[in-house]
Amino acid sequence: MDMSNGVDEVVEHIGALVRWESPSDDLDALSGCAELVDDIGAELMGQSAELIEVGGRSHLRWSWGEGPRRVLVLGHYDTVWPVGSLRDHPWSVSDGVLRGPGCFDMKAGIVQAFYAVAELPVALRDGLTILLTADEEISAPTSRDLIEAEAAGLSAVFVTEPSGPGGALKTARKGMSRYVVKAIGRSAHAGLEPEKGLNTTLELAEQVRRIATYQDPETQTTVTPTVFTSGTTANTVPDSGSVWVDVRSASTDQLAQIRTQLENLVPVTPGIRLEVEGDHRPPLEHTMSRALFERAVAIARAGDLGELTEISAGGVSDGNFTAALGTPTLDGLGAVGAGAHADHEHVVIDAIPQRIALLTGLLRPAP
């Protein structure tokens, strides 16, 4: 990166995005943030995005050249932080660190991607696409088809999600399945005739105990019941309820096995009915990132950008979708820092120029 203007300009653009809060469930906030992202992209790369509206959400796409697509830069601008989070987690820059909700995951990565493309000579941008989506944090319900269509048949996908500890690139990710197990029972007065009800709280409590046994510590497969709701009022036998279940595994077969187990749950209470719904992200397997990581290591060494490391991540990203297509995918190319989704979320400023330079090198046509 050309440091003639220093990194302050980059930080200012990150700050502008962080100060526009964009939680996944707030369509108005997302719409405004999309406009800001587009404005910053146009300013830095000299080209406005194509806005792709799906389900009330604006996904942004930049493409260069008329020929075949070769490389996709992938990211998202939605965050897990609700509007108002800035009151308790204000934007700040001090002691070489920037802070604010969504800065690490992943608004800094968006700005770094724009600067990386801006550093790339226009003649070398042919075949390059940037896609930024508005629903990654909620499992990409409106963008998955778009992501897979953009990534199919490419030579590489570079995901500017945040890095692992110490700037490690993410060369593998567990797959994830997320389910909601619903129970449908029958209400009754809790004091007068509770025996006439079919209690979904009791039913789901038994199911949660059963579901928790599906985990497998030996393979680091986790099955975690999370949000539990049941009933409506304190004096009524609950007639409906649900529990969310988070499943993570590096094994496609194990994910499929757990899916079968959940879909075949049997009620313990006669008369109660169970329903199971879910969505899935396949694992990002190490084989899909190996060659790209080796290329990144060579670029970093040649450019004096430091020695790169790699990790296998428990979290998922949209890179799981692209790798499952058979498209080589390298993840974790965004900001260096820590605290995704947490109070201590932050980005290390000194690492920003190196990450921009690394991505610029990767975007050049491979020798």
Tokens standing for residue 332: 């974790």
Structural domains present in the chain? 8-173+283-363 (3.40.630.10), 175-281 (3.30.70.360)
Residue 5's pLDDT band (boundaries 50, 70, 90)? low
What pLDDT is recorded for position 121? 95
Q: What is the pLDDT of residues 297-313, one digit of tens each?
A: 999 999 999 999 999 99
Q: Which residues are catalytic?
A: 78, 136
367, pLDDT greater than 90: no
Confidence band for 1, pLDDT divided at 50, 70 and 90: very low
Residue 260 has pLDDT above 80, yes or no: yes
| Tens of pLDDT, residues 20-55 | 999 999 999 999 999 999 999 999 999 999 999 999
Please write the tens of the pLDDT for every residue from 217-253. Answer: 998 999 999 999 999 999 999 999 999 999 999 988 9
What is the overall mean pLDDT for the chain?
Answer: 96
pLDDT for 366 equals 82
pLDDT digit string (tens) for 119-135?
Answer: 999 999 999 999 999 99
The pLDDT value given to residue 315: 87
Whose CA is closest to 54, among 142, 169, 151, 154? 142
Residues 6 or more apart in contact with residue 304 via CB below 8 angstroms: none
Q: For 342-354, what is each residue's pLDDT tens digit?
A: 999 999 999 999 9
The residue ranges of DSSP E strands in the chain, in sequence order, are: 50-54, 57-63, 71-76, 92-94, 97-99, 128-133, 156-159, 169-173, 175-184, 222-230, 240-249, 273-281, 310-313, 329-330, 337-338, 346-348
pTM, to two decimals: 0.88
Of 296, 294, 291, nearest to 361 (Cα)? 296
Determine the Cα–Cα distance for residues 79 and 25; give it in Å rounded to an integer: 9
